[in-house]
Amino acid sequence: MDLENQKRVKEITEKHGAENVIVVLGAAEAEAAGLAAETVTAGDPTFAGPLAGVQLGLRVYHAVEPQFKDEVDSDVYEDQIGMMEMVLEVDEIIEEMTDIREEFCKFDD
């Protein structure tokens, strides 16, 4: 997650409270999604950005996860994400995101 997005997440969390923030990611690979998810839950693992050492514990999901997919209009989902879902390693992404949430998320789903 780039430094500008880290700054935005931190500012939104400070303004609205961590319990009211959900982050939705769209990274194409499980490892990249996991790194971004770790950043908004446990803090920036590279210690380079605004979230270095900041454990927000935010709820975080990937756009291909059922928790997100089930909440959006199915036609919009299919139009915007459906094609990508066919080429992504969805099971790997879901596993990575689940692991991060179980380890670092401070809030119930």
Q: What is the CA radius of gyration of the chain?
A: 14
Let me know if residue 37 belongs to a domain: yes
Provide the pLDDT for residue 53: 94
- The alpha carbon torsion through 24, 38, 104, 48 (nearest 10 deg) reads -120
Total tally of structural domains belonging to the chain? 1
Let me know if residue 28 belongs to a domain: yes
Structure tokens at 19: 């319990």
Provide the pLDDT for residue 26: 96
Provide the pLDDT for residue 109: 66
HEC states along 47-94? CCCCCCCCCCCCEEEECCCHHHHCCCCHHHHHHHHHHHHHHCCHHHHH
Structure tokens at 98: 């689940």
Let me know if residue 79 belongs to a domain: yes
Let me know if residue 10 belongs to a domain: yes
Tokens 């596993």 correspond to 95
Let me know if residue 83 belongs to a domain: yes
Let me know if residue 86 belongs to a domain: yes
**Residue 36 per-residue DSSP state:** H
CA distance 27 to 31: 9
Provide the pLDDT for residue 43: 97
Let me know if residue 96 belongs to a domain: yes
Let me know if residue 109 belongs to a domain: no
Per-run averaged pLDDT (10 residues), the chain, 109 residues: 96 97 97 97 94 97 97 96 94 98 90
Q: What is the domain range of residue 64?
A: 3-104
